[in-house]
A and B are shown apart, each in its own frame.
Chain A
Amino acid sequence: MRTLAFDVAHLLAGTMLALSFLLLYQVRITATLNVFALQAIALSLSVAWQALIQDAPHLLVTAAVALVVKGIVIPTALHRIVRRLGIHREIEEVLGAGPTMLIGLGLVALSFLLVLPVGEKVSILAREDLAFALAVILLGLLMMITRRNAVTQIVGFMSLENGLILAASGAKGMPLVVELTVAMSILIAFIVFGVFVFRIRERFDTIDVRALDQFRGERRDTP
């Protein structure tokens, strides 16, 4: 039952999940960006391995796109944004790191419990990939909810998208067009985010998104 193909796929997908947890755990912005780049590299390795064992060469394109766009371009751009905003040495206050971890563990357990019985008919490889992907997606969402800094929220969103690609690579017969479209929309979303961050900064002198709550008239009690 245990073959090398399965073991390596398990290793790479498991590494991605572990890196998702590391993202939740990091409080320094530059470290967060580095972990995100690492996760993208793990993703591209995982997709490349899927291309090998599924004998699907078009997945190699996906892997290359993931490596170049998300492993190199987006982290470098985010590093530059962070540097230009002058927050590269800042430590973010994360609300309740302990409870966040526990919620994250709960989400992982939930996604495993959800996917494993659903995918009885598909191969164990695809099923496991799906379980890992769902967990990575939920952890990305959790990161977006718990962070206050706009840049780390972007990282959360991108990490969520990593999970989507992982899910797509596990399913057989995903057309290349769809993947390319997703990759393009991510890039466009990233550009929009970048502009957005600078606009927030211009108006509020901070990129702490709590300032937006105050602006809308909610939570007036916050300083």
Chain B
Amino acid sequence: MAMMIDLAAQAAQMLLVLAIAPLILGITRKVKARLLRRVGPPLWQPYLDLRKLMHKEAVLAHNASWIYRAAPYFVFAVTWVAAALVPTYATNLMFSWSADLIALVALLATGRFALALAGMDVGTAFGGIGSSREMMIASLAEPAMLLVAFTVALIAGTTQLSAIAETFATADVGLRVSLGLALGAFVMLAIAENARIPIDNPATHLELTMVHEAMVLEYSGRHLAMIEAAAALKLALYFSLFACLFVPFGIATADKSPEALAIGLAAYIGKIVLLAVLLPIGETAIAKMRVFRYPIFLGGAFAASALAVFLLFVSRSF
């Protein structure tokens, strides 16, 4: 019986991230539109888009191989697994032993690899340029992401997300410059990974600058629906990760009573909505970067996270 409840809690988390992901996208689009003095689409527009795409015919290029057809499902599955592992409303769920930060980075990298392969599969110029840029960003972002992971892992003493969230939520961590630097680096990385301004503009199809859109330009129908859903899930994943690593307050830890779970759920939704409002505000305030500036931007993230790790070593007495 207890196992059934545990399973139900885990299943609820998996469905929660899936259900909330398009809504997050809807909120960011709406806020951005309002900031630009447009009315903007309704909040549930992403759901309608996904439904429409699922019903449309999928057009394939003549020379498309099985990689091209399999990649969208693979990317969606990998991203969903990764997003479902991040603790949302409670820690210590059934599968939280597998929710390792490094495993999470690896899962995302696998998804990205598949998408880059798919971008090059049909042999169009745009797919190739998108894949090449995506890999350039990834090669700079992944080391920095691992360093952020090491920073929090050194403080919490573990790389398991659920245990980290519990440590930060309950124990006294003290004033830490390292965590501040890791936070800055994480925000920069999240922006780069989710193809938001200033790295990429998710709303444009301008050839010179697009990265993510260039890779998936050839997709249509249900394949495109999978890719869009995966992109939404990835944004939800980074928001959840932010909430779990840096503001884990309110999350249900040892106490698994219905009240604690309800508080955890409400806190989670509140944090996510707040982040979804803050992201477009930040995006509206800055301009997009040139492609050649990306390495400097991501290098800044890398430097900040490396500095965070160094500072941790100094503050420990050798």
Q: Which residues of A contact B (CB under 8 A)?
A: 1-2, 7-8, 10-11, 14-15, 17-18, 21, 25, 97-98, 101-102, 104-105, 108-109, 112, 116-117, 124, 128, 131-132
Contacts and interface: CB of A to CB of B under 8 A. Distances in A.
A10 B299 contact: no
Interface in B280-318: 295-296, 299-300, 302-304, 306-307, 310-311, 313-315, 317-318
B82 to A, nearest CB: 29
Nearest to A8: B175
A18 B177 CA distance: 9
Nearest to A97: B296
Main DSSP-derived SS at the A contact region: helix
A10 B177 contact: yes
Contact of A10 (B175, B181, B304): B175
Contacts of A7: 174-175
B313 A112 contact: yes
5 contacts: A14-B178, A18-B177, A101-B300, A112-B313, A132-B314
A101 B299 contact: yes
Contacts, number: 59
Given A7-B175, A18-B307, A105-B303, A116 B318 contact: yes
Given A10-B175, A11-B177, A101-B300, A112 B314 contact: yes
A71 B302 CA distance: 28
A108 B307 contact: yes
A108 B307 CA distance: 8
A98 B178 CA distance: 21
Given A14-B177, A108-B307, A124-B317, 10 more contacts: A1-B317, A18-B177, A18-B304, A21-B304, A21-B307, A25-B296, A25-B303, A98-B295, A108-B310, A112-B310
A116 B315 CA distance: 10
A1 B174 CA distance: 12
Contacts of B302: 101
Nearest to A104: B303
The 8 closest A-B pairs by CB, nearest first: A14-B177, A7-B175, A101-B303, A97-B296, A98-B299, A11-B175, A101-B299, A7-B174
Contacts of A116: 314, 318
A105 B174 contact: no
A132 B311 CA distance: 9
Nearest to A15: B177
A35 to B, nearest CB: 13
Contacts of B181: 14, 18
Nearest to A135: B310
A7 B304 CA distance: 19
